[in-house]
Structure 1
């Protein structure tokens, strides 16, 4: 019986909003970090690394919510 190989996930464009299914956090894709993908919180903060298999692109509603949170943070002076 042949061993099936999983296809490697497509690397997103930097800036793509992703959901880390391990912790439910939304982050902006920043780039590759070895075998992991680097994400930055949409409203700023410390980057984290996640396994590509645990990430998915955000839905339109999730992207809108993240963009709205960023705008609100900017209006409060929390994000440049």
Structure 2
């Protein structure tokens, strides 16, 4: 029997916070919240575990491209 339940991304995995519509890297869990950092670096934010899902392939590509484009504009 197949399970329809999605597994939540683990530490180091890309994740989407569905309440904010943001994608980042899971850094850990503290106090029942998941800490997520933007994939380009920056300040972490807390998300409720029920709102943390794996991003779709399109969302992941879009997020990675945005970071890459931002780096190229900054001369990196």
Give TM-score scaled by structure 1 length: 0.73
Gaps of 5+ in 1: 1-8
Greater Cα shift, 59-68 or 24-33: 24-33
- Name 1:61's counterpart in structure 2: 58
- Name 2:4's counterpart in structure 1: none
| Displacement over 3 Å in runs of 4+ | none
Matched residue count? 71
SS of aligned partner of 2:59: helix
1:51-80 CA-partner distances (Å, limit 9, x unpaired): 1111100011111111111111221238x7
Larger gyration radius, structure 1 or structure 2:
1
- Name 1:25's counterpart in structure 2: 22
Q: Are 1:19 and 1:26, in contact at CA under 8 Å, matched by a contact in 2? A: yes
Give TM-score scaled by structure 2 length: 0.76
- Structure 2 CA distance, aligned partners of 1:66 and 1:74? 13
- Structure 2 CA distance, aligned partners of 1:24 and 1:69? 15
More relative contact order, 1 or 2 (CA 8 Å, 6+ apart): 2
Q: Are 2:8 and 2:52, in contact at CA under 8 Å, matched by a contact in 1? A: no
Q: Are 2:9 and 2:53, in contact at CA under 8 Å, matched by a contact in 1? A: no
